[in-house]
Structure 1
Amino acid sequence: MDTLSVWRGTAAPTGYAMLSGDVTCDVLIIGGGITGVTLADLLAEQKTANPPRVVLLEADEIGTGTTGNSTGNLYETLSSGLRQVADKWGAEVARQVVSERRTAVNFIEERCRLLPDVGFRRCDLVEWADAAHNEAIRQEFNALTAAGCAVERGSSIPAPLPPAEGEVLVLRNQAQFQPQAYVVALARRAAEAGCTIHEHSRVLEIDHKAKRAVTASGSVTARDIVMATHSPKGVHLVHTEMPVHREYALALEWTPDAPPGPGTFWWKATEHLSIRRLQAGNRHFLICAGQEHKVGVHNATAGMIALENLAKKYFGERPVTHRWSAQNYRGADALPYIGRNHSGCFIATGFGTDGLTWGTVAARLIAAELLGHKSAFADLVKPGRLSPVKGGKSILEENVLVVKQLVKDYLTRPQNEKLAALKAGDSAIVDAEGETFAAYRAPDGELFAVSPVCTHVGCKVHWNSVETSWDCPCHGSRFRPDGTVIEGPALSPLKRKHTPDLAQGDPAA
């Protein structure tokens, strides 16, 4: 299945060279999403006598990770509810969260005035539910009001959106943009100001003590390393605290005058939908994102089909132009992890599905600290905090799930499949010559066989039929059929097996 997002499909391409050779700099940024690119821009624009020398390494192309697979919505609240922050941390912290996120949205708006064709606009965020979830909407209204947000009660929802069965919450003056176009343009601005950007430069090894990152074609040694990789690379304590989910999305062909109008629409019912419109040139799209699914243990095809059926139910038989998904890591205590951790590197993770705004907050916080102006909010979200009362239940649940998954996968026998028997498009965990393999046969007939053991902490990977990837249910590492790392904390690829000999020696061949 083609999973190119509508953002990536309608934005300009990039073309930065791969890292070649060994270089040194002041700040190395790993990751070319909104966090890394914003940080690069903030550091590169410094007009001091000795501005920091900045290098940014992106494993693939700028924005092609979570940023280019998001919903493009910007807001001062949280998709999981500001009430969670208020419940765990109190009203004052909730106000601080709103203030930081509101400032970040304003910052993006200011940057967008300097950048071409990034589609920024102010709009309302509308939230409603079915009868079973009306109490949550009421509590959210109260939390937003207490935090000083411009929130009102609405009276109805425009067709063809799912109807409201109770209160409607309207949060004024939020925003939307084209996230891929934004980071591409912002990266160009940073590069013109002196930042060195390298694409197709995946980091394979990080020496935290020497502050050195190694790629297949070179290395970078820096005074400071920032892992703006959505989930920090390698093994870190925060991995034990963060549930990992995927969210599927699609774009429908739409007509210019058809409702709904401008706005971000969240239907928080038993079935969940996030809805917004997009105009790209002369084309109009309606974008729908569905429910979250636990990485590695869900049926990806069923999740995408459920979203398509829901979109069809409310918006009719419209052509689906794009299908995609994105991964999110949620902080155990409702706040992200931003700052320097035990490794000595800066990390920025735990954003949930609010990463465009949190990523901008993170870049501003890290830039301030690197330039000697640490923010008070930085102490609140520092990675080393321990909040057993606020996040203990989530941490326990996540680690119980990881242990269960490890035990289940190592006790469960491989599927009764043989390598040579796999048909085009099929995948399976199989036995061959006394070994177990994660195998996939591509539509052109090529057979890929790799180790099924994730190189992060040893969990068994599971097949994602929508993204054509092997996904780890423990901490969210994902791999291509040939074993190459796509995302997540894993640094090393799954070991590739020599398939021709195996297939020929297979009893079923």
Structure 2
Amino acid sequence: MDTTSVWRATAPGPGFAMLQDDVQCDVLAVGGGITGVTLALLLAEQGRRVVLLEAGEIGSGTTGHSTGNLYATTSQGLSEIASRWDDDVAREVVTQRKAAIDFIELQCRANPLAVFTRCPLVLYAREASDDRGVEEERQALARAGCLVRLDDRVPAGLPAARGPVMVLEDQAQLQPQAYVVELARRAAKAGASIHEHSRVLDLDTRNRVATTATGSVKAGEIVLATHSPKGFHLVHAEMTVHREYAVAFEAGAQDPGAGIFWWLGEEGLSIRMLGQGGKRYVIAAGPEHKTGVHNAKASLLAVEHVATQVLQPGPPLYRWSAQNYRSHDGLPYIGRDHTGCLIATGFSTDGLTWGTVAARGIAAELAGQADPFLQRCSPGRFTPAKGARTLAEENVATVRTLVEDWLTHGQQEQLSSLAPGDSAIVDSEGETFAAYRARDGELFAVSAVCTHLGCKVRWNSMETSWDCPCHGSRFRPDGTVIEGPAIAALRRKQAQLG
């Protein structure tokens, strides 16, 4: 199944060269999403020598597979921040996120392809059990000083609301792929060295050296802007990892107009419109699912089915998914951790806005300007009371996955019986490996053990990948890393057919 996002399909390609030498710089940013690219631009404008390494293409990770929504609240709700922390922290969150949206708007003024639009966020419920969540969010936003009101209906073309409809004014949307590509070009023009297809294969945090297949970078500072930091970091034990699925349809007869529409509930959707290249799209994203322990294809088809039933759009044109990492206490992790690197992670599904907050904050910190909010978001913070349940659930789930996978034997299946498109975890001659036969008949056999912390990977039929349920590392059928904290590929195995 093709999983190209509408953003990457309708934006110009970036086209930066691979790293081809051993270089030195002041700051190395690893990751070419909104965090790394924004940081590269800001640091280059400060006059610093900056190198940015991207494993794929600029925006090819979570940024180019997001929903393109920007808002002052968070996807989990500002009420969640207020309940775990307090109203003062909730107000800080709103202030930081509003400033990030204003910054993005400023950058978009010379970039019409980014399609930046101010619009309201509309939150409502279709079941009585979700009405309380709408009211709690309205109250939290009002206490934080946001312009919020209640309405009695949603725009035409959306499924009807059961109760009051919360409207948060002056939020925004953009075309994230077009935005980040233009930002990268501006960063390069300002002096940053940007390299695509330059995956970091070894990261020496002590000596501040990153090595790729064709070169290396020695830096004064390393910033890991890869959504989840590469290698071994304490924050991995504090984050839950999920995937979210989205579909872009040709717009139907009903058009609710500009807005971020959140419909709460088990089948709830995030809905928005996009007009680009003379075409009109309706985009629907569904609920989150824990990486590696769900049926990816079924999850995506469920979003497509519900959206088709309630929105009555035209045919589906693009299908995609994105991974997110949720912190244990509701705030992201931004700053220096025990490895000496600067990291930016734990954004949940709010990466466009939090990524911009992180880049601006790290750039200020490297310029010697203290940021009290970044101190609150320190990766080394100790707040067990604010996220004890999340921490316990995540660690129990990880241990259970490890134990179950290592006590469960592989499928007793002969590799020769794998049909094109089939996959299996196979035991053979005392070894367990992950096998997949491509549509053209080629057989791939790799170690089933994730190279990050030893969990066993599981097959993702929609995206043709092996996904780790513990910390979200994902691998192609040949074992190469797609995303996540893992650096090393899954070891290729010489499988005997029989």
> TM-score under structure 2 normalisation?
0.99
Residue of structure 2 in register with 1:44 after alignment: 44
Amino acid at match of 2:385: V
Query: Any conservation in 1 of the 2:87–2:144 contact (CA below 8 Å)?
Result: yes
How far has the Cα of 1:163 moved from its partner? 1.3
Q: Compute the displacement of 1:317 (Å).
A: 6.1
Deviation sequence 1:333-363 (CA, Å, 0-9, x none): 0000000111110000000001100000000
Q: CA deviation at 1:456?
A: 0.1
Distance in 2 (alpha carbons) for counterparts of 1:96 and 1:465: 41
Q: Where in structure 2 are the equivalents of 1:364-375 lying within 5 Å?
A: 364-375=360-371
AA of the residue aligned to 1:312: T
2:25 maps to which residue?
25
Aligned mates of 2:181, 2:277 — CA distance in 1: 17
Instruction: State the 1:374 CA deviation.
Output: 1.8
Q: Distance in 2 between matches of 1:195 and 1:246?
A: 32
Structure 1 match to 2:452: 456
Q: Aligned runs of 1:57-456 on 2, under 5 Å?
A: 57-129=53-125, 130-255=127-252, 258-316=254-312, 318-456=314-452
Q: Note if 1:8 corresponds to 2:26.
A: no
**TM-superposition CA deviations, 1:44-75 (whole Å, max 9, x none):** 112xxxx2100000000000000000000000
Deviation string 1:312-344 (CA, Å, 9 cap, x unpaired) is: 111236211000000000010000000011111
Residues 276 and 288, structure 1, Cα contact 8 Å, conserved in 2? yes
Shift of 1:283: 1.3
Q: Distance in 1 between matches of 2:58 and 2:112?
A: 17
Matched residue type, 1:30: V
Contact kept in structure 2, 1:18 and 1:199, CA below 8 Å:
yes
Alpha-carbon separation, structure 2, partners of 1:416 and 1:277: 48
Distance across 1 between alignment mates of 2:403 and 2:181:
43
| Alignment correspondent of 1:466 | 462
Rounded Cα–Cα distance in structure 2 between residues aligned with 1:486 and 1:278: 28
C-alpha contact (below 8 Å) 1:475/1:489 kept by paired residues: yes
SS in 2 for 1:210: coil
Distance of 1:144 and 1:227 partners within structure 2: 32
Return the alpha-carbon distance in structure 1 between the equivalents of residues 52 and 142 of structure 2. 40
Structure 2 CA distance for aligned equivalents of residues 2 and 417 of structure 1: 28
Three-state SS of the structure 2 residue aligned to 1:272 is: coil
Distance (Å, rounded) in 2 between the aligned partners of 1:12 and 1:43: 24
SS of the residue aligned with 1:286? strand
**Contact persistence 2:333–2:379 (CA under 8 A):** yes
Q: CA deviation at 1:89?
A: 0.9
* Cα distance in 1 for residues equivalent to 2:273 and 2:301: 21
The residue type paired with residue 158 of structure 1 is P
Contact persistence 2:157–2:254 (CA under 8 A): no
Per-residue deviation at 1:220?
Answer: 0.2
Give the AA of the match of 2:2: D
Aligned residues: 497
Does the CA contact (< 8 Å) of 2:114 and 2:178 recur in 1? yes
Offset, 1:160: 2.7
Residue identity opposite 1:171 in structure 2: L
Instruction: Give unmatched runs, 5+ long, in structure 2.
Output: none
1:279 counterpart letter in structure 2? G
Q: Secondary structure at the match of 2:159?
A: coil
CA deviation after TM superposition for structure 1 residue 393, in Å: 1.7
Q: SS at the partner of 1:117?
A: helix
Q: 1:216 to 1:110 in 2, by over 3 A?
A: same
CA contact (8 A) 1:204 1:491 kept: yes
Q: What's the CA shift string for 1:271-322, capped at 9, x where partnerless?
A: 1200001111111110000010000000111101111110111123621100
Opposite residue 426 of structure 2, the aligned amino acid is: V
Q: 1:206 is paired with a residue of what secondary structure?
A: strand
The one-letter amino acid paired with 2:457 is V
- Amino acid across the alignment from 1:213: A
Give % identity: 62
The separation in 2 between residues aligned to 1:288 and 1:163, in whole angstroms, is 16
Q: Which runs of 5+ in 1 are unaligned?
A: none
Deviation, structure 1 residue 237:
0.5
Distance 2:45 2:420 in 1: 51
